[in-house]
Amino acid sequence: MISPPPHAQPHTLDSTRTTLRLRLLRSLLPEAVAIAAEDPQGTPPAPFAEEFACLSPNAVEKRRREFAAGRAAAHRAMRALNLTPAPILIGPKRAPVWPNGLVGSITHCRSCALAALAPDHRFLGLGLDVEEDTPLATDLWPSIASPQEQDWMTRQTDPGQAGKLLFSAKEAAYKAQYARSRKYFGFDGLELSIDAETRSFQATFTGDQAPYRRGDQLHGRFAIGAGVIITAVTIPNHEPDP
């Protein structure tokens, strides 16, 4: 059972904050993508039994709460597509296993869970990431950013926030490409270019990761507000429907 956090009202969600974050996410994705949000600090609905079984018996309360909120958001996104919610299990590399015909992404942090879902004949991959809008510690920079990316971070007005944005954008890009490559690789596998003016970014493959080749690019967008950084990457399916 997922209990409410200490000092919280058991059935009260911060609906205003959640609504603002959902609006931020909506601005990043095409209308064909269904989205939903849930507050892990409220009382998210319990996951399906099959989903709950994917959690480690030793999972801490925070992990259980965020997992439940993420699944609840994904189920809401299914309803938005006029589908009956179905269990979303965990694959061998810890990625969500989506029901046939769907592609999607789930992300969560301490105070926010988001999900995006679409028919797989419209998109080959979706990637979301949400992070608390707090600075990325400088001792983590070398592990997530190339020298060129670190140089970009140091030239920003708020280098710590820029680092967190870079981290989030890479996470979103990795999730989106995984739907096709079924591969995870190091942070050095993608080189990011971020355009603050258009709130967009490009992730360029630094090596071959079939079906991607070195130099191939993924395109994403980002939003910052309501205490979080949200990034999203879509990979459209340009093949005609059968």
**CA–CA distance, 162 with 183 (Å, rounded to integer):** 26
Amino acid identity at 221:
R
Answer yes or no: are the C-beta atoms of 130 and 238 closer than 8 Å.
no
pTM of the shown model: 0.92
Answer yes or no: are the C-beta atoms of 145 and 160 closer than 8 Å.
no
**CA–CA distance, 34 with 76 (Å, rounded to integer):** 9
The DSSP string of 109-131 is ETTEEEEEEEETTTEEEEEEEEE
| 3-class DSSP state of 80 | helix
**CA–CA distance, 242 with 226 (Å, rounded to integer):** 42
- pLDDT tens-digit readout, 93-146: 889 999 999 999 999 999 999 999 999 999 999 999 999 999 999 999 999 999
- Closest to 47 in 3D by CA, of 10, 81, 90, 92: 90
- Closest to 96 in 3D by CA, of 121, 114, 122: 114
- Provide mean pLDDT across the span 200-208: 98
- pLDDT tens-digit readout, 20-74: 999 999 999 999 999 999 999 988 899 999 999 999 989 999 999 999 999 999 9
Domains of the chain are 17-127 (3.90.470), 129-236 (3.90.470.20)
